[in-house]
Every structure is written in structure tokens, then in C-alpha cells.
Structure 1
Amino acid sequence: MKIRIVNSKEEIAKLDPRERVVHLAFPLPAVVLFELMKRCPRLKAIEVPPSRYAKLSKPTRCLLEVQGVKVFPGRVWGHRTDIDEYYTVDEGAILQRAGELQARGLDSGEIVAKGAEEAGVSTGLVGFILGR
């Protein structure tokens, strides 16, 4: 899975309309989120830094989720957008590991937490990949 890293409001106008998952690394007024949804109608998930997620209003989060867009907190560690504007996550490995953990009898919360820790991504992203 490729996650598009967006560092500024100006980058939204340049996004491919087919983007499905983005990480927003800048302040998030509601207007920016709606501009993003308008630009990328196939958008399924938005990951934002935890400090910015805490500042998102509940009505904004609810409206995005009603539109079918999951919003969750998370970080992209060590990624340099001057080298590549996408961060790649091995979705297949996460799904396979989740199956192994489920076979061991772990509950869904433990599976998500352990999968996130092992993959080095947010629990929100693992939950999105697993459909939870």
C-alpha cells in the first residue's frame, strides 16, 4: 500500500485524484480536509499526527467517516519527501501476520497492537488494513 505524504495545503491541488490513503503532516482546518476530499473522491483514509488528530473536532471526524473516509492518528517515521512522496507499507505482510496472531487466539485489539508494533506503523493504519 502506498501512502501519499502531504506536507502543505498547496500540495493538495497537485494530488492524483485516485489517491486512496494520505498522511497529512500540516495543520488541518476543516476546509483543507474538505478540499482534499473534493480533489480525491476515492479517498478511503487520512492519517494525521497524534497532536493534530487531537485538535480535529468530533463533528469533522464524524462527517469524514460518514463520507466513508477513516481518520486516525499516526506518524511516518524517517520518511523524506524530498526523495519520495510516498511511504510504502507491506499490506500483505500485515494481513499474514494478523492471520497468524488470530490463529494463536489473540483478540482483535491485541492483533492490531502487535501488528502495528512489528510493522512500525500506527494502530490506526493496521486497523484500516484489517478492516476494523
Structure 2
Amino acid sequence: MKIRVISTKDDIDNLNENEEMVHLAFRPSDEDLLSIINKSPNIKVVQVPTSYMRSLSKSAKMFLDLRNITLLEGDVWGHRKDINEYYEIPNGVYKRINELMDEGFSKDEIIDKVDKETKLEPEFIRFLIEQKYQ
């Protein structure tokens, strides 16, 4: 899975209409979120850092919810946008989730183990698990 990293408001203009997942590395306004969704109508997930999550307005959260867009809290650790505008979830993460599922671990146990083994946020790991079984 690839996550499009949007570092500034100016990056919104360069979004592909087929983007499904974005990480916002800036504090988005309601207008920014609307612009992102208008530019990329297939958006399924918007991820924002913890510090920005607290400042999102209730109307922005409600708007995303009404559009069935998942709002996730988290970061893309170690990503350098100057090298690649996308952050790709390593295949090893999916492999590890599958291994733990095959071993019979519960969803919460898998989240705990993968969280300790990677720098992915628990909420994001939960999202990956839920996507696998939709």
C-alpha cells in the first residue's frame, strides 16, 4: 500500500485523482481537506500526525465521516519526500500480520506485537488488519 505524502498546501494541486490514501504533513484547514477530496475523489484514508489531529475541527471530522473517509492518527517515520512522494508500507509488515493471524493471535495481540516491531501506529495497524478482512 502506498501513502501519498502531502507536505504543503501547494502539494494538493499535484494530487492524482486516483489517490486513495494521503498523509498530511501540515496542519490542514477545512478548506484544505475539501480541496484534497475534490482533487482526489477516491480518497479512503487521511492520516495526520497526533499534534495536528487535536486541532482538526469537528466539522472536518464530521465531513470525512460522512464521506466514509477514515481519519487516522500517525506519522510516516523516516520518509524523505525529496526522494519519493509516496511512503510504501513494507511487505514485511503484511507478512508479519499474516503470520500472527495464522498463529491464532487476536487482533489486539497482533496490533501490540506489530507496533513493537515497527514504527507504525497501532491505529494504522488496526486499519491494515481490517482492510484485509473486508
TM-score range relative to shorter protein: 0.7 to 0.9
Q: 1:121 Cα shift?
A: 1.5
* Corresponding residue of 1:8: 8
CA offsets 1:53-83 (integer angstroms, 9 cap, x no match):
1111334223212212111111112211111
Q: 1:103 Cα shift?
A: 4.3
TM-score, normalised on structure 2? Answer: 0.85
* Corresponding residue of 1:29: 29
Residue 49 (structure 1) aligned with residue 41 (structure 2): no
> Any unmatched runs of 5+ in structure 2?
none
Q: 1:105 to 1:62 in 2, by over 3 A?
A: farther
* Corresponding residue of 1:119: 118
Q: How many residues align structurally?
A: 131
TM-score, normalised on structure 1? Answer: 0.86
Counterparts of 2:59 and 2:6 in 1: how far apart (Å)? 23
Shifted more, 32-41 versus 75-84: the winner is 75-84
RMSD across aligned C-alpha pairs, in angstroms?
Answer: 1.9
Q: 1:114 Cα shift?
A: 2.1
Q: 1:104 Cα shift?
A: 4.3
Residue 46 of structure 1 aligns to a residue whose secondary structure is strand
Q: Sequence identity of aligned pairs in percent?
A: 33
Counterparts of 1:49 and 1:75 in 2: how far apart (Å)? 5
* Corresponding residue of 2:18: 18
* Corresponding residue of 2:129: 130
* Corresponding residue of 1:96: 95
Residue 4 of structure 2 aligns to a residue whose secondary structure is strand
Residue 13 of structure 1 aligns to a residue whose secondary structure is helix
Residue 14 of structure 2 aligns to a residue whose secondary structure is coil
> Any unmatched runs of 5+ in structure 1?
none
